[in-house]
């Protein structure tokens, strides 16, 4: 049997990702950094192994925002529509995908997180 594959896309559709397999964990992040980044009361997060995430369209539209130079959280957004596309955590090889951007993903809350100002979510 082949592995589950899903597509994630930004609001305008310029950027698309291919996600293989299932998320490692899904949860709601209430931290100041995520909520301000998305201008939303929570960040519905689906964490994938970065090995299972591939940009299949519109890589040229992706821009990276790092809140501090040493942060482990590299937030990437679409320069066309401004949507948050992913948060790369290269030091731990995880990629956090805003769950609502993933087509056909049934979101479940496995965890609530509130990261204090720190390495991942400064």
Tell me: does residue 10 bind Zn ion (CB under 5 A): yes
Tell me: does residue 37 bind Zn ion (CB under 5 A): no
Residues 64-83: x where in contact with Zn ion by CB under 5 A, - otherwise, as a string: --------------x-xx--
Token pair, residue 83, equals: 């949507």
41 close to 29: Cβ distance less than 8 angstroms? no
Q: How many CB atoms lie within 10 A of CB 62?
A: 17
CA-wise closest residue to 115 among 45, 42, 38, 32? 32
Q: Where are the alpha helices (DSSP H) in 1-122?
A: 32-38
Least distance from Zn ion to the Cβ atom of residue 10, Å: 3
Question: Could you tell me which stretch among 3-11, 63-71, 91-99, 103-111 binds Zn ion (CB under 5 A)?
Answer: 3-11
Residue ranges that bind Zn ion, judged by CB under 5 A: 10, 12, 14, 29, 31, 34, 78, 80-81, 115, 121
């Amino acid at each position: 049997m082949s592995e589950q594959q899903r597509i994630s896309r930004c609001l305008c559709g310029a950027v698309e990702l291919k996600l293989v397999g299932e998320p490692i964990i899904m949860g709601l992040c209430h931290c100041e950094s995520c909520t301000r980044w998305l201008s939303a009361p929570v960040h519905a997060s689906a964490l994938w192994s970065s090995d299972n995430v591939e940009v299949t369209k519109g890589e040229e539209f992706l821009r990276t925002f790092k809140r501090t130079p040493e942060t482990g959280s590299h937030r990437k957004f679409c320069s066309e529509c401004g949507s948050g596309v992913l948060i790369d955590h290269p030091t731990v090889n995880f990629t956090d995908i805003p769950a609502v951007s993933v087509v056909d993903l049934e979101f479940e809350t496995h965890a609530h997180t509130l990261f204090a100002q720190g390495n991942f979510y400064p």
